[in-house]
Amino acid sequence: MLSLIAICVLIFFVGCNSKNNKSDSENWADSLENVQKIEVISPEENPILTISDKQEVEDFVNALKIDKWEMKDVPSEAIKGKQFDLYQQKTIKFGESSKDKKELKHVASITTYNKPYLDFNLGDVRFSFKVPKEVFEYLSEYQ
């Protein structure tokens, strides 16, 4: 099931890429490399930080250790924490102007909790995961 979700997310992020022969985990990491901005939002809906430096975004994606996430429902007693909104440049389609490419588009959100769980939202689809302790601690550091 997790592999199916990863494949769907991969297709969402990178579109059709039939010439790429990398493994799914490598494709997933490559697709997140396209993220260019991350907004950290407090539970009160106020942005508290914007990450847009290429190296900082790359470090953030690497720290997520997505391959270690375990698909599980968030416990009912968990309290929502910060939200991380991920943005990337809009893909140019045939007939569109390249000037529109500079506009960043919201592509996904990660919602944290006071426990090592998170929700990963792609459009109207939400996936819940239990994450390793080090990922939980890393995401909790953002203030």
- Higher pLDDT, residue 75 or 23: 75
Q: Name the fold adopted by 36-140.
A: Immunoglobulin-like (2.60.40)
Find where tokens 């959100």 sit: 109
The yes-or-no verdict on residue 12 having pLDDT over 60 is no
Q: Are 128 and 118 a contacting pair, CB within 8 Å?
A: yes
Distance CA 73, CA 56 (A): 29
Domain ranges of the chain: 36-140
Q: How far is CA 125 from the centre of its chain?
A: 13
- Please tell me the pTM assigned to this model: 0.72
pLDDT in tens, 99-122: 555 688 888 999 999 999 999 998
